[in-house]
Amino acid sequence: MTEDTIVTINREHKDRLFNFIFGTEANRKWTLQLYNAVNGSDYEDETQIAFNTLQNYLYVSMKNDTSFVIAGSMNLYEHQSTYNPNMPLRMLRYLSSLYSKYIADNSLDIFGETIIQLPVPKLVVFYNGDREVDDETTLRLSDSFLPEQKGRSDIEVKVRMLNINSGHNDKIFQVCKPLSEYSWLIDRIKKTKNLEGIENAVTKAIDQMPNDFEIKRFLTSFKQEVIDMMLAEEQEINALELIAKANEKKGKIIARYEDGMSIAEIANRMNISTKFVENMLTEAGLLK
C-alpha cells in the first residue's frame, strides 16, 4: 500500500471497521480476497468491483456494512457481533434500496415490455459473537412467518451466516488472510475492553498485531479513526441492549396486566414506579 493510496481515505466519513477494511476503494484487493474466499472463486482483477454501499442513514444499524457488484452478483456483506435472526428482513430492505439505485444508475425501464437483467443477490453475515453457532448457518425470511403460513409464501430470502471466530472456517481464513487478521483483532479487543476501556483495548490490539499482518499498516495509519469506529459500535450495541431490556420489561408488564394484576401490584412486584407501568401500558394502547 502506497502513501498515495492511504491519503485517499475519507477521514470525515463515519464508518464501521468491517467496511473500513473491506469496503473502500483503497482496499479492493482485500475485498476481492473476501469474495473469492466466500464463493470459492479465483477472480484476480479487483478493478471489476463496483462498490454501492448504502451510506445515507443516521444510525449504523440502519445502513449496510459493505456491498458491491462483481461478476453479475450483488454482494451484501454484514459483520455482526451479536446474533440476529432478523438479518433476512434487514437484507431485504437493503437489497430493495440497492436495486432501486442500480435501476436508476443504469437507466433501466421496469415498466417496459422487455425484462430487465439484475445482478443476483449474494447475502452474507460474518458473525463473531459469543453464541455458539456452526461454521455456516442459513437464515431464512420464512422463519419469521407463522408456522401455518410458511408454505404459502411467495417470497424467500436466504442469508449465509459464517462464523469467523477462532477455530471456525479455516478454509475461508486461508484464502482471505485479512479476514483472519480482522477476526484476531476483534477477539483481542473483546477480551480486554472491559478491563482497560475500548480506546486502550484497540490501541493495544493494533500495537500487538504481528508485523506480517496485511492490515496492520493500514490500521496503524488510521488508529484514531479505528478507535472512533469501535467506540461508536460499542455505543450502538449498548443502546440496542437497553432497548431490548426495556422491551422485555414492557412485555412482562403487559402480560401481568392482562392477567388481571393491578398497576400498583405490577410496580411492587417488578420494583419499578407506577408511572413507568402506566407509560408502558399507555404505549401498548391498554390505557388511555
- How many angstroms separate the CA atoms of 228 and 61, rounded? 16
Amino acid at the residue 10: N
Give the separation between CA 34 and CA 15, rounded to whole angstroms: 19
If asked whether residues 79 and 145 sit together in one domain, one would say yes
Global model pTM greater than 0.85: no
- On whether both 185 and 241 belong to a single domain, the answer is no
Query: Residues 241-277: pLDDT tens digits?
Result: 777 788 888 899 999 988 999 999 998 989 999 998 8
Which residues make Cβ contacts (< 8 Å) with residue 219, sequence separation at least 6? 21, 185, 206, 209, 226
Of 221, 251, 271, which residue sits at a domain end?
Answer: 221
> pLDDT for 211-244, tens place per residue?
999 999 999 999 999 999 888 877 777 776 777 7
- In terms of domains, do 215 and 277 share one? no
Which secondary-structure segment (H or E) carries 102?
helix 87-105
Q: How far apart are CA 102 and CA 92, in angstroms?
A: 15
Percent of the chain with pLDDT over 90: 62
CA distance 178 to 206: 14
> Is the Cβ–Cβ distance between 124 and 65 less than 8 Å?
no
- Looking at the fold, whether 203 and 265 belong to one and the same domain comes out as no
Contact 223, 203 (CB under 8 A): yes
The C-alpha angle 124, 128, 134, rounded to 5 degrees, equals: 70
Residue 253: domain span: 225-288
Q: Domain boundary residue among 193, 221, 249?
A: 221
| 272 shares a domain with 176 | no
Is the domain of 240 the same as that of 284? yes
Sign of CA dihedral 201, 181, 55, 8: positive
Residue 250 sits in the same domain as residue 120: no
Same domain as 254, residue 212: no
Whether 121 and 24 map to the same domain: the answer is yes
- What pLDDT does 2 receive? 39
pLDDT band at 64 (very low <50, low <70, confident <90, very high): low
- Single residue among 221, 237, 256 that ends a domain in this structure: 221
Whether 166 and 27 share a structural domain: yes
3-state secondary structure of 46: helix
- What is the distance between the alpha carbons of residues 63 and 15, in angstroms, rounded to a whole number? 10
Q: Are residues 231 and 217 in the same domain?
A: no
User: Of 94, 90, 112, 113, whose CA–CA distance to 102 is shortest?
Assistant: 94
The two most distant CA atoms of the chain are separated, in Å, by 69
* Residue 45 shares a structural domain with residue 170: yes
Structural domains in the chain (count): 2
| H or E element in which residue 276 lies | helix 274-283
